[in-house]
Every structure is written in C-alpha cells, then in structure tokens.
Amino acid sequence: MKGKFRQSSIGARMLLVMGVVLLLQTGLITGSIIGSGAIERLSENSYDIFNQKIITRKNYLEYEMISRWSNLTEAEQKIEAHFSRVLEKNNAGFDEIETNSDLAVELLRNSAEDVIELLRRNSVTGAFLVLEGSPAVDDNGGTVKNGLYFRDMDPSSTSQDNSDILIERAPTAITKELGIPMDSEWHPVFLFSGENDQRNLFYQNPIRAAQSYPEAEPKELGYWSKPFYLDERSVPVITYSMPLRAPDGTVYGVLGVEITLDYLSKLLPYTELSEETNVSYVLAVRQPDSNQYVPVMSTGPLYTYLYSGGDGVLTAGEPVRENCFSLVDNGNFTDTTYACVQQMKLYNNNAPFENDQWVLMGVIENRYLFGAADSARTTFFLAVALTLLIGAASIFLTIRSTTHPIQSLVNQVRGLNPRQPVRFQRIHIREFDELTNAIETLGEEVADSASKLSQIVEMASFPLGAFEYTIGGREVYFTTNFFKIFLIGQEKGLQYLPLDRFKELMLPIAEYIDPALSTDKVKTFRLTDSQGSIVWVRLKLIDSEQHMLGIAEDVTQEMVEKQKIEYERDYDLLTNLLNRRAFHSRMRQLFQNRGRMKVAALIMMDLDNLKYINDTFGHDYGDQYIRAAANALRIGSPENAVISRMSGDEFYLFLYGYDSEDQARERIDRLQKSIQTSTLELPNRPSFRIRASAGVAWYPKDSESYEQLIRYADFAMYSVKNMTKGRFAEFNITDYEKSAYLLHNSEELNRLIEEELLDYYFQPIVNARTGQVFGYEALMRPRLTSLETPLEVLSLAKSQGKLYQIERLTWFLALKSFTGFKNIPPDCRLFINSIANQGLSESDEKALEAQYGPYLGSLVVELTEEEERVESYTRKKISFLKRHGGQVALDDFGAGYNGEVSLLAVRPDFIKVDLSIVRNCHQDKNRQEMISNIISFARKNNSLVIAEGVQSREEMDTVISLGVDYLQGYYVGVPSLTSQPIPDKILKEITSRSR
C-alpha cells in the first residue's frame, strides 16, 4: 500500500513539471525585469534627465551672472580714471567728493557714458553709480546720495541714440545734457529711507564690506541683492554691486548692475523641464544652517499654485536622490512634490557674503517625474497575470491530449495474451508507436555489451589514451598510449595495474597541473619532454556511481595555436608591446583593484620626427624608429608599468604602486633619459636621436577615472607638441579649463578678425658687435580682454579652422605698422612669425606686393614652432621671399619642431637660438657648448645666429663671447608699438665687448 502512495499519474507529473516551468518562466521574466532594475533605471533616467536640464540651465545662468553681468572691472577702471582726471583738474581729492556737490555732479557727468557702456556691454537691464558722501537728510529723515541710474528694459536690442534707455536717477543738469528720456519715477538723487530697508542693501552692503575689509579687492566685495522695488511703482529687480575704492583707500561710491525679474524669467524657460507644463523653475537663496529656501523668482505654474497665499518659502524634506528632495507639504499639495537643487557659486570663499547660497531649483510633482516608470510597472504586472492565465489553459489542453493515448495503450497491454505474439494497435503518435515497435522486436535485437573502448582509442588520428576504474575495485584498466602521453615510461599494450601502482605513477605529475586552465573535471598538464619542449596534456574525468573514466589527449598543437592567437590578439607585432585592446583590458583590471595602484601616472607619448624619417628614408626605417623607441620604453620602465603601442607613433604607459608623486617622477625622469639617449642608425646619420613628446596625468590627484586620465594625458601631450616638442609635461587643470574656455569664444575671434583687433609690438634685434639696431621682430598682441595672448588666438583659430585669416593679418598688419615708423634705416629688417602650415593665396600675395612691394626685401619670415611645417607651404614662402630679396629665419631652434632636422630641410639665413638654451647659459657649460655647436654649423652653411631671450648682462656677455651675430631680449630692448633706440648703457656694454 505504501508503494501506491508513492505513485502518481503522468498527468499529475506533467501538471507539476509544466506548472513549475510556467511558474519558473514567469518568475524568471519577473525576476529579470525586477532584478535588472529596468523600471528603477527608468525612474533614475527620468530623474537624471530632469536634473541634467537643471544643471545645464544653472551653468548657463551662473555663467551669465559671474562672467557677464557682474564683470565690472573694466567699467571700474574707466570710472576711476575719469574721477582721477577730474579731481586732478580741480586740485581735489577723493575725500572731497562727499562735501562738494558741484564736484560730484562734474564727476557723474564724466562717468555717464561709462555707466551706459556698462549697461550695453554686460547686457543687463540697468546700471548705476552711487557716490558716497556725508549723508544729507530729506524732509522724511531719509539719506540722500548723488548718483546715476540707467535702465533698459530690453537688453537684447539697442538703439544708436540711446532712445531705448530711461533715466531713473541723475542730477537735473546731467539729464538735460544726455538727451535720454527720464522714467516717470525719475529722481535727481538716491533716497535711502532706512538702515535695514531691503531697497537700501544694494548700496549699504558693499559700503559696509569695504569698511570691514579694507585690504580686499573691490571685486571680492561684490553683493547680489534679493528682489526689491527701486520705487513703489517700479518693477522688481535684483542687483549686483561693488564698492569703488580710490588708490588711497577712500571708498567713494558703489557701482552696479540691475536685472529685472521679468528679464530673468526669460532665461528660465520652465517648458524645457518636462513635456508637461505643470513644473517650475525657482531661483532661491538658502537660509544659513537650515533646510529652507527663500525664493528670488519663479517661472511656471506649479510653484505659483502650491505657494500662493503664503510666504513662498520652500522647505526641504527627505532627500530622495543626490541634490533632490521632497518638499514639505504646506497644505496645498495634491501629490508628492520634488525639488532638484543645484547650488550656484556666486561668491569666492571667505567673501563677506559667501553665506548667501543662491540655488536654482526645478520643482515637479511625482506623477510627472516618475509617471513613465509607474505606467511601465503597471503594464508589466498585467502582462504577467495574462501570461499565467494563458499558460494554465495551455497546460490543461496539453495534459488532456497526452494522457488519453497513454491510457489507451495501457488498456491494450492489459488485454495481451502472453501465449501469443505481442501486437499493438497503432495510435498514430510517433513516439508511442516507436515504443510499441521496440517492445515487439525486443527479443530480436539484443546487442553485444562488450566494451569497445580500446578499438575506438586505437582508431583515433591524434594521441589519445584512457583509463577506467571500477569504484571499490583493486585494479585500473588503461589503454596503450595512456602513460606515453604523460611522458611516463610503461609497457605498451592494453594493461591492468594495481590501484596503488597507478596512483604512484600519476601523483608526481600532479604538480604540473596548470590551475588557470583546469577545473574539477578537466585537468591540463604542462610537461617538458627530453628535448626541453613543452607538451600540453588534457585529462577529462567522468564520474558515475560505479565507474570513473579518464580520457587523456595531447593538445600541444592546440595550445600553441591558441597562445599564438592570444599573442597576436594582445600584442603589437612591430614592437611586441601590448596593443590598444590589451592595454585597456589590463587597465580595467587595475582600476577594479585600486589598492595596488597607490600613486600612479598615465603617460601618453607621441614620437617626434617619424613623418620626416618615413618621407626621407622610407617606411622601413620608420618601423625601425618605432621599434627603437619601444625598446627604450622597455629599458627605462620599472616593473610596475603597463606599456602599449596604441597606434602609429603613439604609446601609452601606466606607472603605478608608488608612495608619492616624487617617487614616480624619479622613474619618469629615468624613462625620459632612456628615450633621449637612444639612437637609430640612418643612412648618413650614424646616431639619429629618438625624440618624443609626452603628457602625464596623475592618479588620484588629477582624476580617479581612467577615461578622464586619458583625456588629461592627451591634453598635456598635445600642449607639449604645440609648444615645445621633445618634453614630458604634467597635466595642468588651469590650462585645460582655459583651453576649454577658448572653445566658447568663436564670436570673439570673428570680431578680432573682422575688425583687425591686433596690435604688433616691435622688439629690436641688435648687432652683437656694434650695438646698432639690425631689425625688429613683430610680436602679436590682441586687443580683446577675452583673448589676451597670441597662443589663445592661435589655439582658438586652429580649432575654428581660421589660421589662414590670422596668417594674413600677420603679414599685412605687421608691414603696415613697420612702414609707418619714422627714421627707419633702409637696411633695417622686419621679422614676422609665420604659421608654418599656412600660406598666402596668390591674390593676397599680389595685394601684398601692390601695397608693400618696396619693403618686401626687408622681410625675414620666421618659421615658427607652433605647428609642424608643411613642406609645400615652406617652399612657397621661401620662393616668394627670395623673389623679392627677403630672407628666412628658423625660430626657437633647440625646442619644438625646429631642431637639427629643420636645419637640413630649410637652410635658413638666420638661426634663432631658443631662449631655453640662452637662459642662464653663463652658468651652464652644456648650454655654452650647444650654442657653440649651433654657431659652428651656421658658419659652415652661411647662416647668421641670433640669441633670443637675453635677460641679463651675464647672458649677453656669454653669447657675444661665443660668437653670436645678433642679440634679442628684454635686456637689450623691450617690445614697443614704436621703434625705440637702444639705451646708451646697453650700447656701451656691447661696444666695450667689441674692443
């Protein structure tokens, strides 16, 4: 009876199995969806997108407030200059402004245009200047101050006659002169009604800050005000104001700008936050040491609906994500409401008003922020329920169609006659009909059960062996080649061995198991034969309750091919260094185990001169150059280094495991010396030096992100290549941010080119024997505050594809300024820096000849190191110069692209020794020897030598004694807009050396 209870019908079993499968399938689908976090990620994505929009808008608004609206420095300087001139004219001081009203009016008259210019330039709705003075009192007890206040309600459009500007505050005498309409709320003076009146803080706070911090710069004392009304019927505004301080420390006023909340609301389009319109932007100030935010302004209907009728203060509740929290319900909420907050850094650290934490908030209700995720969750669970229902119906139909034929077959078996042949009726189900056929022919098809293992093994076309052991037995059966495969001497043929003897033979080779290639059931052995060759053997084990079977095969050829494939996959065949894929894989492993890295350095290196070698000697020598560089890297790198050739002439190195950056720098210095001392044998060049430029980014100082380190190292490397080749340079975050900033100044570059906003300063080049001026080098100086240096102009022009326009301006403007000089000797030379990968068009060459033809013979073009030369442009420039009697100079020799290779390629008339070699040459024998070698080479090739960057008497005496022909540097003469004579002191020092 007990057996009957253990039995179950096939229908029940099918129901169990199929039911379990259905539940498992449903569970797996449900678990995979839930476990994968897809719905949660949908919520995360909704938040991330919402938050990113706020970050983007915050960054834009922060940039406007800091870089444009509050940029008062230029206006401050102009106003101070005007004040100084007026005060000097009136023989008065800054301290007399407060007592002399006529003087104050004259000062305001002279500053009115500056305030209007500030209004225009900073694209604000208002600008003001309030003079500090002894407080006059009006009839209501308020304080009266003189000043100017102009307002433009639409900064996006301007009028040439200032008709779009209204005067809010200005003395009567000035309003008549300006010809600008006055607002209906115009007053001739500022009236400050009370000490703590919100409307007074834009003036009082900067004044108090200036008095409390007498040593601070005025721009560090700037103040962003909360919204207020200048007049009762005026519009709400916020202001930025800063104190004005005279050179003697006297605080003489406040300068500032205004932004109306209406104009500010246009910069916060709430519709970008969500497809739903029920959202809001809120610009607010966080209360110190609290979770409350006082609104400055808002856009969008949600905030207005939720906070109408109250004080409008937003109170942060529980944080839900980074920079995101739920808002505390004030009684108007109909759904959970979230605010994503991005802090705006408007003040520097330790500034007087740094506790005013301005933030930009995005406010949205739960159903709009996470509505997509909630909808997806509901749809998913409905689909799961429907799947279960359909699955249950399918199971029932399947069981019914399966069990009915089986029951029919059972009935036939029960009705069989044992004395007659077994015959069944076909039920027309293939599996069941095959079963009945098998039963009918069972007696006719008894197979031989003898083992065929030995025959199978002997017929194999590759070395194969096997053993079999019966659990509990005393002997082991093995085939002919089993021990031979393991290089163990043993009699051939099919044999049996006692179990102990078998273990005795096999145990010694257990130490040769390769753990990395082995599992519990598959063991891989790495053996060595009598000739010293590696033999790989794989042993597969198959266990059962009664037997253990092992199959051994020689997989040497397979392993060799696999290792070859892996090597070719992971290594660069030219240098035998890791390739790009393997390097990134190794780096990911390291960054998953950061404890090993400690202090690390990522080095991105690019070979110099490879193109020259390929073009001059052929690509075979170029490959040798790359291999020589790779060998230098191997020799100079420490053990804890990952080295890779990424592509062409680019290499990556990662040095890790150091306790300090100085310790790592020591190894980097060794690496650099290894490269610098490596040479390559070239035809007619027995010892061509390997040279490379590299950028270094530090972990964890610069970044803990691998991808960010690559970007930083790449930036450092290309900075070196664009300035001084052949050096290793560390990443500089300031330069990186500055370079990124340049990308946003394309409009400034266009204005510079269109309006020709470039000056050229001329630095004299002096004869090292007579002290007379031989020529002048034209040095570019931009006239824009946003693009201050030539390097910024060139970098931005390169990124915008406008280097040709800069090249053209250099030729024409330098010649224009030079030809305007008076008393220039006829043989005086003009040196200009030409961009090496640019050349004037034929039409521009003709225009240059037409305008400055007589002066082209005085022209000396310096092939600059900022860009690698393009031979076609170089040849064209030299041809143009020679046609007019001009000459060529090789600039910055010894640094950047201009090295020994350039001397052979260009054959210059002048060689300018780089200032890095001239600097402190009187203290360095190696530098002196380098200068002597350059001079010796120049003499043999009819070139003259110019020493650049001479900064001291000692440097000048040294280079003169070494034999240079000409001198250039701040010690000899500083750059000037006009031609300046050489100081008598310098002239005497030079001529005294000649005697």
SS (H, E, C) 606-654: EECCHHHHHHHHCHHHHHHHHHHHHHHHHHHCCCCEEEEEEECCEEEEE
CA distances (Å), origin 373, targets 42, 318, 325, 971: 6, 21, 18, 72
Torsion of CA 245, 249, 252, 253, to 10 degrees: 30
Residue 814 is predicted with a pLDDT of: 92
More confident residue, 698 or 331: 698
Q: What is the mean pLDDT of residues 907-913?
A: 90
In CATH, the architecture of 758-782+804-994 is Alpha-Beta Barrel (3.20)
Portion of the chain with pLDDT greater than 70, in percent: 89
**Sign of dihedral through CA atoms 301, 302, 305, 307?**
negative
For the record, the structure tokens of 698 come out as 């530090």
In CATH, the architecture of 453-562 is 2-Layer Sandwich (3.30)
In CATH, the architecture of 70-261 is 2-Layer Sandwich (3.30)
Q: Is the pLDDT of residue 900 over 60?
A: no
pLDDT band at residue 446 under the 50/70/90 scheme: very low
Peptide bond into 782 cis (omega under 30): no
Q: Is the pLDDT of residue 377 over 80?
A: no
Q: What is the mean pLDDT of residues 220-239?
A: 91
Residue 226 is predicted with a pLDDT of: 93
Residue 124 is predicted with a pLDDT of: 94
Cα–Cα–Cα angle for 894, 895, 896, nearest 5°?
A: 140
At residue 236, φ and ψ (nearest 5 deg) are -70, 140
User: pTM of the entire structure?
Assistant: 0.42
Residue 444 is predicted with a pLDDT of: 44
- In CATH terms, the superfamily for domain 571-738 is Reverse transcriptase/Diguanylate cyclase domain (3.30.70.270)
Q: Is the pLDDT of residue 493 over 60?
A: no
More confident residue, 829 or 231: 829
For the record, the structure tokens of 399 come out as 């069981």
Residue 373 is predicted with a pLDDT of: 66
- Per DSSP, the three-state class of 927 is helix
pLDDT band at residue 418 under the 50/70/90 scheme: very low
Residue 134 is predicted with a pLDDT of: 55
Helices (H) and strands (E) in the chain, counts: 32, 38
Residue 766 is predicted with a pLDDT of: 95
- DSSP 8-state code for residue 729: E
Angle in degrees, 0-180, between the axes of helices 10-36 and 38-63, rounded to the nearest 10: 10
Q: What is the mean pLDDT of residues 917-932?
A: 92
Residue 256 is predicted with a pLDDT of: 96
Listed range (37-46, 88-97, 787-796) with the worst mean pLDDT? 37-46
Q: Which amino acid is at 925?
A: K
Residue 27 is predicted with a pLDDT of: 78
Q: Is the pLDDT of residue 409 over 80?
A: no
Average pLDDT, the chain: 84
Residue 741 is predicted with a pLDDT of: 61
Angle in degrees, 0-180, between the axes of helices 430-440 and 371-414, rounded to the nearest 10: 30
Q: Is the pLDDT of residue 498 over 60?
A: yes
- In angstroms, rounded to a whole number, what is the distance separating the alpha carbons of residues 570 and 143? 80
Listed range (72-81, 379-388, 418-427) with the worst mean pLDDT? 418-427
Q: Is the pLDDT of residue 183 over 60?
A: yes
How would you classify the pairing of strands 166-169 and 147-151? antiparallel
More confident residue, 791 or 37: 791
- In angstroms, rounded to a whole number, what is the distance separating the alpha carbons of residues 262 and 267? 9
Q: Is the pLDDT of residue 267 over 60?
A: yes
> Which tens digit of pLDDT belongs to each residue from 578-631?
888 889 999 999 999 888 889 999 999 999 888 888 888 888 888 999 999 999
> Which tens digit of pLDDT belongs to each residue from 755-783?
999 999 999 999 999 999 999 999 999 99
Q: Is the pLDDT of residue 867 over 50?
A: no
For the record, the structure tokens of 386 come out as 């429907």
Q: What is the mean pLDDT of residues 921-938?
A: 91
Length of the chain: 995
Residue 443 is predicted with a pLDDT of: 39
- In angstroms, rounded to a whole number, what is the distance separating the alpha carbons of residues 882 and 448? 103
Residue 3 is predicted with a pLDDT of: 45
Q: What is the mean pLDDT of residues 732-750?
A: 75
Q: What is the mean pLDDT of residues 58-78?
A: 92
> Which tens digit of pLDDT belongs to each residue from 106-140?
889 999 999 999 999 999 999 999 998 755 666 66
Cα-to-chain-centroid distance, residue 130: 44
Q: Which amino acid is at 52?
A: Q
pLDDT band at residue 864 under the 50/70/90 scheme: low
Token pair 């003076």: residue: 189
More confident residue, 183 or 388: 183
More confident residue, 319 or 28: 319
> Which tens digit of pLDDT belongs to each residue from 955-993?
999 999 999 999 999 999 999 988 888 898 999 998 887
Residue 605 is predicted with a pLDDT of: 92
